[in-house]
């Protein structure tokens, strides 16, 4: 595409150089720059692309977009803009031919529930005979293609490229997780959404957003700006009416709204709810009629995900029978209250919960299903919101019987220091400390211990659990790695748990 065509509609502060150049690629990585590429210098959380402009030019790049003034250079076209991230989104959208205009895109934002809801919607769309693509925390996928995700919401140029690839592959509907970082960094700007879904809001990412108000402002951009600006008529907003932030969000929306929840004012609501270890059964009432839902997913927290997916599907006009069928078909979501099958009579569940609210809801859901002991193994990530650590400790101590505080992804922090932050919340709830679960005895009802090695912590919990106990392993979910310092090592809670269960089974056989 000619540069002069590519920059149509772009608000340019200053322009120096030739605009009759051919652009064959757009990049924000200087190492990927080439003679035919356009390099956009964006500010990241770790580095600033403006420091790598010379490197891009040395690699042959002749077109650069910047938001910091740059002295003119021979044979280099310099485009100065107010916000290079916003410009990147606009350029990428035009470069790839506005792919979202030919797709039905569903954007999901909120603190918890995004990933499970993408899986539910994908299953519902498949039950309707539609070809769906998903862009989310676990991976990017569509029929015939799957690539593990490096970030939940890709940078704008990567996002628009993926949307174009999906469109070219015959995909009709795309379900996209829109994180607060992505919304704040303009990654989804220019994307035309048919529906925007708000799941909930609770404390997370305050290392980046600083306050809950700023966190909410980032999430709400999807509804206050993007849904209303990228279409001729505002897109449908689907919101959780039971969430504390609902009313504040509702006031920002200028367009159609569909509310889901258990409250009387919800248009999509559940009644006759039954939750057990076989899944969830409920009657869901909608403006288009009612449907009986039987989902293999566990716990009341997943009831809200079922309601959210139902609300989006109803809003899109999909058949009620296909909605029910799609929900029933989805048996598991990777690392989201994922059951680890075993023959030792212990319920072992791996979950991605890494916020106080997510941990509280997961354990509360399990408590509703189970009257026996719950053993909770979890930690918190390093270089992230420190304020949530004692709150997660409190949530675990209040809702589990036995707690093992362990390491998660410590990154550059000392694992023991992170665990001490968590312990403060556990200790405040009055749980007695034991050097190990073995010390508290086989019939111990309440207490906590600490073990840095996450693998050993999982094995301790599984070895100690009695038949009928629940072992809940929280924090990492689907992740198959652990970040220790600057090293990324192989580690999967599910694999570790499965091996521990097999080892226990072999030991029990040996005693017979």
- Give DSSP secondary structure letters for 415-478: HHHHHHHHHHHHHHTTPPB-SSGGGG-TT--SEEEE-S-HHHHHHHHHHHPPTT-EEEEES-TT
pLDDT in tens, 132-157: 999 999 999 999 999 999 999 999 99
From residue 502, how far is each of 90, 260, 455, 469 by CA, in Å?
A: 53, 42, 14, 17
Average pLDDT value for residue range 334-342 = 97
- Inform me whether the pLDDT recorded for 170 exceeds 70: yes
- Return the CA Rg of the chain: 25
Among candidate residues 209, 35, 172, 191, the one with its CA nearest the CA of residue 98? 191
Name the residue ranges covered by the structural domains of the chain: 3-94, 98-329, 338-511
Contact 165, 195 (CB under 8 A): no
For residue 324, the model assigns a pLDDT of 98
Task: Note the residue count of the chain.
Answer: 512
* Higher per-residue confidence, 348 vs 443: 348
Give the architecture-level CATH label for domain 338-511. Alpha-Beta Complex (3.90)
Tell me the fold of 3-94. Answer: 3.40.1390
For residue 259, the model assigns a pLDDT of 98
pLDDT in tens, 114-138: 999 999 999 999 999 999 999 999 9
Looking at the chain, the whole-number percentage of residues with pLDDT higher than 90 is 94
| 3-94 and 98-329 agree in CATH topology | no
pLDDT in tens, 185-239: 999 999 999 999 999 999 888 888 889 999 999 999 999 999 987 677 789 999 9
For residue 512, the model assigns a pLDDT of 66
Query: From CA 123, how far away is CA 156, in angstroms rounded?
Result: 26
Instruction: Centre a 10 Å sphere on the Cβ of residue 123 and count the other Cβ atoms it contains.
Output: 23
DSSP 8-state assignment for residue 68:
S
98-329 under CATH 3.90.245.10, yes or no: no
pLDDT in tens, 172-183: 999 999 999 999
Contact 111, 43 (CB under 8 A): no
pLDDT in tens, 13-57: 999 999 999 999 999 999 999 999 999 999 987 889 999 999 999
Among candidate residues 116, 118, 117, the one with its CA nearest the CA of residue 140? 118
Average pLDDT value for residue range 85-108 = 98
Q: What is the pTM of this model?
A: 0.96
Among candidate residues 37, 85, 114, the one with its CA nearest the CA of residue 188? 85
- Inform me whether the pLDDT recorded for 441 exceeds 90: no
Computed over every residue of the chain, the mean pLDDT equals 96
Measured N-to-C along each axis, helices 493-511 and 454-464 cross at an angle, to the nearest 10 degrees, of: 40
For residue 230, the model assigns a pLDDT of 67
């Amino acid at each position: 595409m000619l540069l002069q065509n590519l920059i149509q509609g772009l608000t340019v502060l200053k322009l120096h150089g030739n605009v009759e150049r051919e652009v064959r690629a757009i990049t924000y990585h200087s190492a990927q720059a080439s003679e035919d590429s356009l390099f956009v210098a964006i500010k990241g959380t770790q580095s600033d692309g403006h420091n790598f402009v010379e490197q891009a030019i040395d690699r042959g790049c002749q077109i650069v977009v910047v938001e910091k003034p740059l002295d003119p250079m021979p044979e280099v076209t310099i485009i100065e803009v107010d916000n290079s991230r916003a410009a990147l989104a606009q350029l990428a959208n035009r470069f790839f031919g506005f792919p979202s205009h030919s797709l039905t895109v569903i954007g999901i934002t909120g603190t918890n529930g995004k990933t499970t809801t993408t899986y539910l919607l994908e299953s519902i769309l498949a039950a309707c005979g539609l070809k769906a693509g998903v862009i989310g925390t676990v991976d990017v996928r569509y029929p015939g293609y799957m690539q593990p995700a490096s970030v939940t919401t890709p940078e704008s140029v990567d996002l628009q490229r993926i949307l174009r690839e999906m469109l070219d592959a015959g995909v009709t509907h795309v379900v996209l997780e829109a994180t607060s970082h992505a919304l704040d960094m303009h990654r989804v700007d220019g994307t035309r959404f048919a529906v925007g879904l708000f799941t909930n809001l609770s404390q997370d990412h305050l290392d980046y957003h600083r306050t809950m108000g700023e966190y909410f402002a980032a999430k709400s951009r999807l509804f206050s700006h993007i849904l209303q600006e990228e279409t001729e008529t505002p897109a449908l907003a689907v919101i959780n009416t039971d969430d504390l932030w609902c009313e504040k969000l509702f006031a920002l929306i200028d367009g159609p709204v569909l509310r889901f929840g258990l409250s009387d004012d919800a248009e999509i609501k559940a009644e006759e709810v039954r939750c057990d270890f076989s899944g969830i059964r409920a009657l869901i009432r909608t403006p288009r009629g009612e449907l009986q839902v039987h989902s293999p997913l566990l716990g009341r927290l997943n009831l809200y995900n079922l309601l959210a997916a139902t609300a989006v599907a109803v809003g899109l006009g999909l058949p009620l029978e296909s909605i029910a069928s799609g929900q029933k078909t989805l048996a598991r979501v990777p690392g989201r209250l994922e059951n680890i099958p075993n023959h030792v009579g212990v319920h072992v569940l791996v979950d991605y919960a890494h916020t106080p609210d997510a941990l509280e809801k997961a354990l509360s859901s399990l408590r509703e299903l189970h009257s026996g002991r719950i053993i909770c193994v979890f930690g918190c990530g390093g270089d992230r919101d420190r304020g949530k650590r004692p709150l997660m400790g409190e949530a675990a101590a209040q809702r589990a019987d036995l707690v093992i505080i362990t390491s998660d992804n410590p990154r550059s922090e000392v694992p023991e220091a992170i665990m001490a932050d968590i312990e403060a919340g556990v200790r405040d709830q009055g749980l007695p400390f034991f050097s190990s679960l073995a010390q508290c005895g086989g019939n111990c009802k309440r207490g906590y211990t600490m073990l840095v090695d996450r693998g050993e912590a999982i094995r301790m919990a599984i070895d100690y659990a009695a038949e009928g106990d629940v072992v809940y392993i929280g924090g990492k979910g689907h992740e198959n790695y652990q970040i220790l310092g600057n090293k990324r090592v192989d580690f999967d809670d599910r694999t570790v748990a499965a091996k521990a269960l097999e080892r226990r089974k072999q030991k029990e056989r040996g005693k017979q």
